[in-house]
Each structure stands twice: as C-alpha cells, then as structure tokens.
Amino acid sequence: MVEMMKNPFFSFPDLENEYPSSYTPLLQDQISKQDHERPRNVQQTSNKGLLLTFSLFICIAFVVVFTGSDHSSMSPVVVIDDDNRPSLSSPSEKLTPIIPRGVSEGVSEKSFHPVSGDGILLFPWSTNMLSWQRTAYHFQPQKNWMNDPDGPMFYKGWYHLFYQYNPDAAVWGNITWGHSVSKDLINWLDLPFAMVPDHWYDINGVWTGSATLLPDGSIVMIYTGSTNESVQVQNVAFPANLSDPLLIDWFKYSGNPVLVPPPGIGAKDFRDPTTALQVSDKWRIVIGSRFNTTGIALVYETTDFLSYKLLDGLLHEVPTTGMWECVDFYPVSTTAANGLDTSVNGPGVKHVLKASLDDTKKDYYALGTYDSETNTWTPDDPELDVGIGIRYDYGKYYASKTFYDQNKKRRILWSWIGETDSETADIKKRWSGVQVIFSMLEEDEVNLVA
C-alpha cells in the first residue's frame, strides 16, 4: 500500500499466479491454437441466430400487446417472515410505501430507502443473512434504532456516550436517551436509559443535546424536547448523584422548558444546543435554526443555566443552506497539537463552526475567528463557508458532535452513520445505525480513527 501511494502507476501483482485457483489454466499456445481452429462458419451462424432471436422477440411483443399480460398466472415468490419461515407471496403484491419518519415532527429524515424499486421486495432478507453486518469496533447498541450522539464527556475515569435511541424497534421513533460508558472508547458497558420522553415538553422525543462540565465539578445537560404539540423547546437535566462515576440517574429541571422558539423562528426550527462556552462570568450556548432558506446560529447567554437571554444579531448565517441542526462550535489551537477546552479563546486560537444541513443530510464545517465582544464568527475563507465548503466526511456521515477530553487533552469527534440499508432490511436485522469517532491525541501520539 505504501508503494502504491508513492507511485500512482504502481501495478498490482498477478493475483492468478500469486494465488493459484483449483482449475488448470490453458497454456497460451493452446488458446491460440483453439482460436485458429475455430470453424469459419461460426460468424455466419451467430448472425443467423441473432436474426432469429430478434424475429421471435417481435412476435412475442405483438402477442403481449393484443392479449395483455396476466399477472395472476405468474408464479409466486418465496418471502421469509420475521421468524425465518418461508411463505408464498404473489409477485404482484406490493409493500405499502413507508413515509420517511421524523420529517412531519420537524427533524431530519430518519429513514432512507423504504423498499427497492416501486415497492416490490426484491430479495427475501432474513435476520441470519444480515447479522454479519454488525460491527466489532464501532459503537452500536445491541438492537434497535440509534441516531445522533448526545452529551459525550469524560467524568471520573469514564467516557460517557448518550445517544438517540428507539427502545421499541429498528426504525426512528419514541426517541429516548441511551447511555453507555467506556474506559477506552472501544469496549462499552450499557447502562439504563438516561432520559425518556415522559413530560409534556419532551413527550414526542428527548432529542439532541450537550453536556457542560462546570468549574465546581457539577454537570448540566441541555437538550431539545419535542412537546405534546411538536414544538421544539430547550430543557435542562442534572445528574442525581455527582459522586456516581457512571451517572446512572438523571432528573429534569422542574421549570422546563427553559427556552422556546423566539419570535420569527418556526416552531420546528429551533434545536440542538451546543456545549456551553464561558465568556467572562457568563455562559453561552449556540442553537441551530433558519430564516427561510438561510441557515443561522443563535446565541443565548446565561449565568445559572435556568434563565437565558438571546444576544443581539447572529453568530453566523449562510444563505441558501437551509435549516442548521446539530451545530457544533469549539476552539482549536494554531500553535499546538493538543485539543482545547470549549471556553478557550485568544491569540493562537481559531474556532470551528460546524452545522448539519437538514436539507442535504451532510455535515459542513469552516475555520474562522470568534469575536466574543460582538458575538460574531467570521470564516477565514468565505468561499469555504459553512454549508458551501468543506465536509468532515464525504460518505454517510451526519449529526456529529465533539467534546473536550480533559483526561488526555484532546478533542473527540463523534458522528452517527446512518447506513444505506433499506428500512425493510433494518427491520429484518433488528438494528440500525452505528457511531464513528475521531480523536486528536497529544503531540507525539497517533490519531485514532474508529
């Protein structure tokens, strides 16, 4: 592989000679001899056969036109049910098209290709056939649906990952916060659900949120809830026991919601608060939204995480990029290889602004400068602005979120991989979605890509 990267014209070895097959290949002189001994009338016979085939095709076409096709007489096909038992089904039977999940609630399309073609199930997938797709390295729950990463952090020796989860099925719905912990970001321990949709302000889903570790050691989680009227609001939750390194129990603030969509913002265009950054003695969070087709980032300021003030202006906006969700905003050093705490700013620091574009289901980011006095972020290169420039990844990659790992002074990037399997296949295999991470380690260490 190294040789190939050095030399673009590097040729691969002859795999047939390198790994002999079970059959005996013909020698080159035998192949040539066979070519010379081929009868001369083969070409003429081929032409006659082609003409006969074409004539037969025309005749069949006329018959179909005048008599019509009788689908009821076609042979049935075998379909495998959920218990892997074969059953007969007529080819004319069509599956009911599945409406993309989540769109009517005001979130990204959470289902992909519902079925193949025009609704006909082309292949009878079974759970056993699809089980090989489960990963051994990427994080994923034992079963059912998973999407956006939520509130990742390092606390008392454990890495915590919360994630959007459907406890009932391998499709989007009933969004709950799954919770797992790890010592090494590879081996994970599943814990009880952190939060479930059980209040009017999040009964339609405990959606994406972020964790902020405060200087006094406390933790605040801010997340989007979908209300009983499908309005997107921001809510606060806290660990019930800070002495528990696993943070198993959480309680929701009795005064939720702490934020509702401001005037001029749609009820379903206000979501996914970032980790808070400290400016002087106050904290700021960024929330994604839009004005018509312009993607925007709103900034709120707070001192106690219970009451908030919307700052004047916008952090940033980019026309024609549509709804911004899962916004991420964090500093990076221009002089060192280590990561930075979210609140760091000043000389030698740039800020990354990233948005997940709801219209295209792609993650874009840009590098720029954050002026905390005017509360504005300016891209270094306007031609590479958010939504029109660089993407984290050019495959199936979405809803990414970073956190600062104070344990190893690095920033870790999580992202949801919504596979390209059909929803029908997801239901058969009984799971959907994996997480991917990228970690920037300290100066002399190696990047970890999982």
Which residues carry out catalysis? 148
The token pair at 206 is 């405990």
Contact 169, 179 (CB under 8 A): no
Chain-centre distance of CA 364, in angstroms?
A: 13
C-alpha distances (whole Å) from 213 to each of 137, 180, 222, 272, 279 are 28, 18, 12, 17, 15
The token pair at 285 is 């969070």
Measured CA to CA, the distance from residue 341 to residue 351 in angstroms comes to: 12
- Report cis status (omega within 30 of 0) of the bond before 197: no
How many residues in total does the chain contain? 450
Number of H helices, E strands in the chain: 6, 25
Looking at the DSSP bridge assignments, the partners of residue 318 are 295
Tokens 């990659």 locate to 397
What torsion do the CA atoms of 286, 325, 216, 337 make, to the nearest 10 degrees? -90
Looking at the DSSP bridge assignments, the partners of residue 291 are 294
Of 368, 352, 349, 375, the C-alpha closest to 280 is 375
For 124-178, the DSSP string reads ---HHHHGGGS-SSSB--SSEEEEEEEEEEEETTEEEEEEEEESS-SSS-S-EEE
Measured CA to CA, the distance from residue 20 to residue 117 in angstroms comes to: 40
The residue type of 143 is K
Chain-centre distance of CA 407, in angstroms?
A: 26
Nearby residues of 228 by Cβ (< 8 Å), 6 or more positions away: 200, 203, 204
Looking at the DSSP bridge assignments, the partners of residue 285 are 300
